[in-house]
Amino acid sequence: MAELPDLWTHHPSSVLAFRPGNRVTDIDAGATPGFRGDKADAPALQAERNAVFADLQEMLYANGKTAGDHRSVLLVLQGMDTAGKGGIVGHVVGAANPMGVRYTSFGVPTAEERAHHYLWRIRNALPPAGHIGVFDRSHYEDVLVVRVRNLVAPEVWGARYDEINAFEKELVDAGTTIVKVAMFVSPEEQKQRLAARLERPDKYWKYNPGDLDERKLWPQYQEAYQAVLDKTNTDYAPWHVVPCDRKWYSRLAVTELLIEALRAMDLSWPPADFDVEAERARVEQA
Ligand code: AMP
Ligand code: MG
């Protein structure tokens, strides 16, 4: 299996790891940490790494399906509007076989969801054995938009960080590898992307007039993201901080994070649970 391509000088899992003391306000969203190539290198490399990822994903699925392996992966994508969450889903996770992917996007809670604890809808969306779960937004909205918009009292959202850590610990102990990705776009790039959505009829569906109201709260969101990183970066479910002004970079980086997570599971193809020779003979005569 291919090692980290040499266009990477540092592995994204180390160079993008959130470290205590790191400040959200210091993030350069236009940077390409650990990568010495440029945009022109991206298409071929992305295709090559998508294939590596897809092979590992199939192996994970095969083990879940036939070998009683209960493990799974959960990719948590958090970021402001236009950060490129959908692009990660399409261009990175999209390389996987859909039968092994459980994708969920979390929007404003429905009446039914509101009637339950905030983790209820999250638990319902967890990946089954052998699957890669993808959270397009997540339980972190309950300490992001909910905090910024004062949707519940401070003591209520304030208690959630510890609760989220305990919840994630439970998932990890049960065999889920959690890959948490905080996606950062600059305000300038966000403005361009919002404007671009209004230029093309095929992009209108991504535009939500309310996004501009969230944009006005940028400093408050930065504070809320800082608190998330400070309080929920654990050794069992660490955060990765991904600069997203260059989509080609963020996609390459998240692909490597997923490959790394799958590799660490030390997967192999499940052995046959039948007599291969005998079955060959039977097929011959069939
Ligand atoms: P999008 O990801 O563009 O489809 O937008 C989903 C919207 O749902 C965003 O504005 C989120 O802030 C909002 N949202 C997600 N989770 C929650 C939540 N728990 N409470 C309130 N709003 C939420
Ligand atoms: Mg949106």
Q: What is the mean pLDDT of residues 10-32?
A: 98
CA 80 to ligand 1 centroid distance, Å: 10
Res 2: pLDDT: 47
Res 139: pLDDT: 98
Do 106 and 76 contact (CB within 8 A), yes or no?
no
Res 100: pLDDT: 98
**pTM flag (> 0.75):** yes
Query: Angle at Cα 277 formed by Cα 271 and Cα 278, nearest 5°?
Result: 110
Band (pLDDT 50/70/90 cuts) for residue 1 is: very low
- Residue closest to 246 by CA, chosen among 93, 83, 14, 105: 83
Measure Cα distances from 261 to 170, 206, 270 in Å: 18, 30, 19
Mutate to test the pocket of ligand 1, among 89, 104, 106 (most ligand atoms within 8 A of CB): 106
* Domain 12-267 CATH (choose: 3.10.310.10, 3.40.50.620, 3.30.450.20, 3.40.50.300): 3.40.50.300
User: Ligand 1, closest atom to CA 85?
Assistant: 2
pLDDT at 157 over 50: yes
Q: Model confidence over 216-233: pLDDT tens digits? A: 999 999 999 999 999 999
Band (pLDDT 50/70/90 cuts) for residue 67 is: confident
Q: Model confidence over 158-172: pLDDT tens digits? A: 999 999 999 999 999
Do 121 and 113 contact (CB within 8 A), yes or no?
yes
Mutate to test the pocket of ligand 1, among 80, 136, 137 (most ligand atoms within 8 A of CB): 137
Res 3: pLDDT: 83
Q: What is the mean pLDDT of residues 134-152?
A: 98
Closest Cα to atom 17 of ligand 1? 108
Q: Model confidence over 85-105: pLDDT tens digits? A: 999 999 999 999 999 999 999
Q: Mean of the per-residue pLDDT values for the chain?
A: 97
How many whole angstroms separate alpha carbon 71 and alpha carbon 60?
8
How many whole angstroms separate alpha carbon 135 and alpha carbon 221?
19
pLDDT at 61 over 60: yes
User: Ligand 1, closest atom to CA 149?
Assistant: 21
Q: Model confidence over 100-126: pLDDT tens digits? A: 999 999 999 999 999 999 999 999 999
Closest Cα to atom 2 of ligand 1? 107
